Every structure is written in C-alpha cells, then in structure tokens.
Amino acid sequence: MGCGSVNCHKGQVLFALRRAFRIFACYFYAMDFNFELVINATPEEVFAALTVPFQIELWSGYPAEMKAEKGYEFSLWEGDITGMNLNVVPNKRLVQEWYFGDQEEHSIVSLDLKRDREHTRVVLHHTHIPDEVYEEITEGWKKYYLGAIKDMLEMY
C-alpha cells in the first residue's frame, strides 16, 4: 500500500507521529496511585464505611448517594466524585470507575480489604488519574477519604 510520493510519505509519518503522541500523552498525563493503610476495624466495618450512605456522611461531612451494588452510579461530596460500581464483593472488594469528564482511559479504583488479625489492610489501586488533578486526588485519598474512614473507625 505504497503511495510513491514524498508528500504521501510525509503524511504517513505525520499520522504515525500524531498517533504516537496521543498514546504518549495518555500515558504521560494520566497516572496511577497505589496506597495501603491498616485500619483497626474489621473488614465488615470498613466495607460499611465505604458503601453505606449514612456512614459516608459521618466521615465525609456530606450526604452520599451510594449502594453496594454492581452498576450503581454513585455521587460523593456533592457530586465532586461520581462514578459507577463495577464489582462489589461484600467485605472484600470494591471496584469503581470514577468519571473525569471526556478522558479516554477509564479511571478505575480498586479497594481490596484484607483481614490482618484484628485489623483490616486496605489496598488501594487507582488508575489513569488525570495529571491536572493527581496531587489533589492522591492527597484526598490519604487525608480525606481513607484517612477520614480510619479516624472515624478508630475513634473509640
């Protein structure tokens, strides 16, 4: 499928460069975040704090729209965080897609709860976080999301 002209070849090269840049830009401008936290509570208590609207309101300070159901579209912090539950395994795993506008790659949040004696180890993996909100999201996970859940559950 040759074209035989210099202009055609330049067009093919430009097309390939544009495609490579889009792939690179997606990779470069969307980053992943991994975080682990041990909470002095049972997996059942941690899972409830992640999925029960009343408990979410206790640690976040805002009403929440959430159900521990696959396919449920949730909203937290008055719509600042929205998405859909993709996989729900009660007391063990919660996988969500978080919506970030027109982003091509899906931003997936995986929260795994692992019993560690009388504690729960929360293993977070959040993919394709847009670069422009990366610092805000990662700080939010540590301080305002998982950190707030830990503070609430370890209060007593």
**Domain housing 83:** 30-153
Is 49 part of a structural domain of the chain? yes
Which pairs count as long-range contacts for 62-68, CB under 8 Å and 24+ apart, including other chains?
A: 68/94
Percentage, residues of the chain above pLDDT 70: 81
Task: Look at residue 132 and tell me if it is in a domain.
Answer: yes
CB 108 within 8 A of CB 126: yes
Q: Is residue 9 part of a domain?
A: no
The CATH number of the domain holding residue 42 is: 3.30.530.20
pTM, to two decimals: 0.80
pLDDT digits (tens, 9 = 90+) for 13-24: 444 444 444 444
Any idea which residue has 């992943």 for tokens?
A: 32
Based on the number of CB atoms within 10 Å of its own CB, is 96 exposed (0-12), middle (13-18) or buried (19 or more)?
Answer: buried
How far apart (Å, rounded) are the C-alpha atoms in residues 35 and 109? Answer: 11
d(CA 114, CA 40): 12
How many domains does the structure of the chain reveal?
A: 1
Task: Flag whether 119 is in a domain.
Answer: yes
Tell me how far CA of residue 71 lies from CA of 43, 62, 87, 144, in angstroms. Answer: 22, 22, 8, 25
Residue 36 predicted with pLDDT over 50: yes
Beta bridge partners of 45: none
Q: Which two tokens stand for residue 36?
A: 């682990």
Tokens standing for 100?
């970030």
Residue 33 contacts residue 117 (beta carbons within 8 Å): no
Could you tell me the pLDDT band of residue 37, with boundaries at 50, 70 and 90? very high
Domain assignment present for residue 142? The answer is: yes
* Residue 98 · residue 110 · CB < 8 Å: no
Q: What digits encode the pLDDT tens for the residues 43-93?
A: 999 999 999 999 999 999 999 999 999 999 999 999 989 999 999 999 999
